[in-house]
Each structure stands twice: as C-alpha cells, then as structure tokens.
C-alpha cells in the first residue's frame, strides 16, 4: 500500500485551450473516468475535462463508497458486475491506492415479502454473474455478531441476502487516480471553470461557453452530477430526471472489527465502517426535489433511529459529521448513457444515489461510444431513447439503498 502511495502520479494542471476533440463537462468520477479510458483504451488525448469547482467536489467526493452488483434486472446486474470487477483491478491498473476492500454486503429482510424479494435477487444475480446467496439469521449473527436479530423487537431479521463481492473504495482517491492517469497522457483537467452554455451551429452542439471564454469541440459530453437538466436544456434536450438531496453521516471511531456492509431492504438504510473506524450511515434520498446541499436534522434523526435498531452499540457513539449531495434521479431509477438526439452532445447521467460503483464501467463504456460512435453492449440498454421506445429499466428496489 505504501508503495502505491509513493508511486501516485501527480495531476498535471492546465489552462484551457480554445479547441479540443472532446470536451467533458464535470470533473466527477464519470467525467474523469471517461477521459482516462479515452486516453488509455483509444489513444484520444485531445480532451478537456472542465470542472466548475475542484475535481470530486460533487457527489463523487460525498458518497458512502459502496460498490456492489446485486441489482434486480439483468442489464443492471451485468453492467455493475463488470464495474465491480474493474474496481478490483483498478489499483493494479492505475498504480494508485484507492483503498479497495471487499467486505460483502448483507441485505436483511424483515417480512416474508422481503424474503421473496431477496431470494429473487439471489436467483437473478447468480444467473447474470454476480455472487449473491441467502443466509439464515444464525449465519448472519455468526458473521456480524453485533446485530440484534429482533430489530429492537420491531423488525425481526428473517434472513438476508449476502452479496459476497460487495466492496468499498476511497472515493476521492478514485477520482484522483483517473485524473492523474488521464493528465499524464495529455488530457487537460481544468478546475474552477464552469460551463455556462453550449455553442450551437444549427442543430449541432459544437462546443461550450465557459467563464473563461468559448471552447469548441467535436463532441461535448455532459457528466455534470446534480445539475444535468440545466445543462441539457442548453441543447434543447428535456431529460426525465429530477434532482433530490441525499444525506449521510459518520460517527466517532468504533473499535475496528465491523467487517461487512449491513443494509435493511425494507427500511432502506445501511452502515459500514471506514478505514478510520468511523461508522458510516446512509439511507434513501429526500422525497422533495431540491438543489440544496444543506444537511437536515430530520434525515439524521431518521437514519440513526433506523440503524440503531439493528446495531444497538451505535447508540453510544457520537455523530461527528454530516453532509449531503444532490442526485439526478431518472424516471426508472436507472442511468442514462449515450446519445441525446442532438448531434455532438452526449450525456452520462441519472447516476442518482448509486453511481459511484459505476464509475469504471460507465467511463469505459462512454469512452468507447465516443471513440467508435457505437454504444458497447453493456451500456446500450441505458440509452435515453428507451423512454421513447417504452423499454424502461425499472429497478427502484435495487437502487434505493445505494
């Protein structure tokens, strides 16, 4: 690990030029990974990533870092399983320490209906290449001794699905690994440069307006998280997306030894332990759409109440820090990747509360689409035209808890 840290390549910062082959708007994980794979897989380096603030200042640096593939529809399981496997190899590929740890995820069920959901998840995961099996309450207790199987007398644990390869990785290190890898190969990563509009030539998008002047581009990819509807509106594109806040918090340190990630299917909440020993807790997004990143006491109270039913020791810990991000949620709870119907303008969006795990596969897929003008098989089902064709990829149950 030390060797990796010492070997971490620095990011080469640049002033923007007036023209690029590809301009990527948004220096979050998806924008940076797309730039990295354009350079490494396709030799396309005349690329700029324009970030309004600092890289990973959006949701990429705010998430709870869970990587998993235990989704509920085949298209999603295959896509996220590929991403999970890319994460397993990312330290070796980039030489950067992203603190990847395979921990396993348990999704507890408290009713017969939830047990059926989890059994179905195991079947579809297995059929599509993800490792998920059912465990009994006794087996769960053996692997997570801290859990109260009565759910404080209110939410008894009837069983759980165990997604064996579930993992975490340090989020800002992932962004920096991609930024460093891309910039070492000639990509310009440009911070503090908000894109304020799109340049048009008739119907086609031919560049971006920025606070530092216009920049022309052969292709513009919007990878802006939390604000995509506004960016798409510059191109006259209306997306089936709403933006909702999502909160998380960490406690003070707890003795190391809480190994896995524990989630409740019905209560939509989850907990893991960070490398520093803090307990990291999250839940579902706010029902009210908003662009606010203000932390909310209501969320804090609700998350703490839910999780401490299963892990009573949490009641003795202190809340150290809380924060929020704003998430672009699509109408079917699946991402939207690819063409928009406007020449020269692509999107990677709808990453909602679940897009950190997708950064490697999303970036790889978008880079291939830009390089070849064809969406690769894994991302093809996630195109915007699915809404027009009525081929939606509804998977709310899987997306609900990250």
**130 binds ligand FAD per the rule CB under 6 A:** no
What is the SS3 assignment for 10-77? CCCECCCCCEEEEEEECCCHHHHHHHHHHHHHHCCCCEEEECCCCCCCCHHHCCCCEECCCCCCHHHH
Identify which of residues 159 and 363 has a Cβ nearer to ligand FAD in the complex: 363
Would you say 344 and 218 are in contact if contact means Cβ atoms under 8 Å apart? Answer: yes
Site residues (CB under 6 A) for ligand FAD, limited to 341-370: 351-357
CB of 270 to ligand FAD, least distance (A): 8
Residues 320-339 that bind ligand FAD (CB under 6 A): 325, 327
Return the residue of 34, 40, 45, 60 that touches ligand FAD, per CB under 6 A.
Answer: 60
- In degrees, rounded to 5, the angle at the alpha carbon of residue 25 between the alpha carbons of residues 348 and 45 is 95
The CA R_g of the chain, rounded to the nearest whole Å, is 21
Residue 29: CA count within 13 A, CB half-sphere:
26
Among 50, 84, 144, 399, binds ligand FAD (CB under 6 A): 50
Rounded to 5 degrees, φ, ψ at 178 are -70, -40
Distance of closest approach, residue 36 Cβ to ligand FAD, in angstroms? 12
DSSP 78-131: HHHHHHHHHHHTHHHHH------EE--EEEEE-SHHHHHHHHHHHHHHHHTT--
State how far the Cα of 356 lies from the Cα of 67, in Å rounded to an integer: 7
Residue burial 248-276, b: 16+ Cβ < 10 Å; e: rest: bbbbeebeeebebbbbbbbbbbbbbbbee
Neighbour tally for 89: CB within 10 Å: 11
Question: Can you read off the two tokens belonging to residue 232?
Answer: 């798409």
Kindly state the smallest distance separating residue 321's Cβ from ligand FAD, in Å.
12
- Site for ligand FAD contains 65 (CB under 6 A): yes
28: contact with ligand FAD by CB under 6 A: yes
Contact between 34 and ligand FAD by CB under 6 A: the answer reads no
In angstroms, the Cα distances linking 52 to 25, 121, 229, 277, 371 are 8, 39, 16, 32, 25
d(CA 119, CA 107): 11
Closer residue to ligand FAD in complex, CB, 226/375: 226
Stretch touching ligand FAD by CB under 6 A, among 12-20, 49-57, 89-97, 121-129: 49-57
Alpha helices in 200-295 (DSSP H): 228-234
Q: How far is CA 243 from CA 96, 128, 246, in A?
A: 32, 30, 10
Q: With binding defined as CB under 6 A, does residue 309 bind ligand FAD?
A: no
User: Which residue, 58 or 159, is less far from ligand FAD as judged by CB?
Assistant: 58
- Nearer to ligand FAD by C-beta: 177 or 223? 223
Q: Does 57 bind ligand FAD (CB under 6 A)?
A: yes
Can residue 90 be called a binding residue for ligand FAD (CB under 6 A)? no
Question: Does 281 interact with ligand FAD (rule: CB under 6 A)?
Answer: no
31 vs 159 by CB, closer to ligand FAD: 31
Residue of the chain from 22, 23, 30, 45 that contacts ligand FAD (CB under 6 A):
30
31 binds ligand FAD, rule: CB under 6 A? yes
Which range touches ligand FAD (CB under 6 A), out of 51-59, 93-101, 111-119, 384-392? Answer: 51-59
Single residue of 282, 338, 344, 400 touching ligand FAD by CB under 6 A: 282
Applying CB under 6 A, among 35, 58, 77, 159 the residue interacting with ligand FAD is 58
Regarding 53 and contact with ligand FAD (CB under 6 A), the answer is yes
State which of residues 24, 45, 47, 51 lies at the interface with ligand FAD (CB under 6 A). Answer: 51
Most distant pair of Cα atoms in the chain: their distance: 65
Is residue 260 near ligand FAD by the rule CB under 6 A?
Answer: no
The reply on whether position 176 binds ligand FAD by CB under 6 A is no
The answer to whether 66 contacts ligand FAD (rule: CB under 6 A) is yes
- Under rule CB under 6 A, which residues in 191-230 are in contact with ligand FAD? 194-195, 223-227
Write the CA distances from 12 to 104, 181, 185, integer angstroms: 36, 10, 10
Q: How far apart are the first and last CA of the chain?
A: 27
Round to whole Å and give the CA distance between 126 and 71: 11
Only one of the segments 62-70, 92-100, 118-126, 304-312 lies at the binding site for ligand FAD (rule: CB under 6 A); that segment is 62-70
Interface residue list for ligand FAD (CB under 6 A): 25-31, 50-53, 57-60, 62-66, 194-195, 223-227, 246, 248, 282, 325, 327, 351-357, 402
């Amino acid at each position: 690990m030390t060797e990796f840290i010492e070997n971490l390549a620095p990011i080469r910062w640049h002033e923007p030029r007036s023209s690029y082959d590809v301009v990527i708007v948004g220096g979050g994980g998806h924008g940076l990974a797309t730039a990295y794979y354009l350079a490494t897989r396709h030799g396309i380096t005349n690329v700029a990533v324009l970030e309004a603030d600092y890289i990973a200042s959006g949701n990429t640096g705010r998430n709870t870092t869970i990587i998993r593939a235990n989704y509920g529809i085949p298209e999603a399981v295959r896509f996220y399983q590929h991403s999970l496997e890319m994460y397993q190899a990312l330290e070796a590929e980039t030489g950067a320490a992203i603190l990847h740890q395979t921990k396993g995820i348990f999704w507890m069920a408290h009713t017969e209906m939830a047990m059926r959901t989890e059994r179905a998840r195991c079947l579809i995961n297995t059929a599509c290449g993800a490792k998920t099996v059912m465990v009994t309450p006794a087996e769960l207790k053996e692997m997570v001794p801290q859990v109260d199987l009565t759910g404080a007398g209110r939410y008894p644990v009837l069983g759980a699905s165990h997604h064996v390869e579930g993992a975490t990785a340090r989020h800002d290190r992932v962004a920096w690994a991609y930024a460093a890898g891309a910039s070492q190969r000639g990509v310009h990563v440009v911070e503090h440069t908000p894109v304020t509009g799109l340049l048009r030539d008739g119907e086609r998008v031919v560049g971006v307006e920025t606070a530092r002047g216009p920049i022309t581009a052969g292709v513009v990819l919007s990878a802006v998280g939390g604000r995509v509807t506004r960016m798409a509106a510059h191109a006259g594109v209306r997306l089936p997306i709403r933006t909702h806040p999502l909160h998380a918090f960490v406690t003070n340190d707890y003795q190391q030894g809480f190994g896995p990630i524990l989630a409740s299917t019905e209560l939509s909440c989850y907990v893991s332990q960070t490398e520093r020993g803090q307990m990291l807790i999250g839940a579902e997004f706010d029902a009210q759409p908003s662009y606010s990143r203000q932390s909310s006491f209501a969320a804090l109270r609700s998350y703490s109440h839910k999780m401490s039913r299963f892990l009573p020791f949490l009641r003795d810990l202190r809340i150290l820090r809380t924060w929020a991000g704003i998430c672009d949620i699509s109408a079917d709870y699946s991402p939207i990747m690819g063409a928009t119907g406007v020449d020269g303008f692509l999107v990677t969006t709808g990453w909602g509360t679940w897009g950190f795990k997708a950064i490697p596969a999303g970036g790889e897929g978008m880079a291939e689409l830009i390089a070849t003008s064809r969406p690769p098989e894994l991302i093809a089902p996630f195109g915007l035209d699915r809404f027009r064709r009525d081929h939606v990829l509804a998977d709310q149950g899987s997306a609900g808890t990250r």
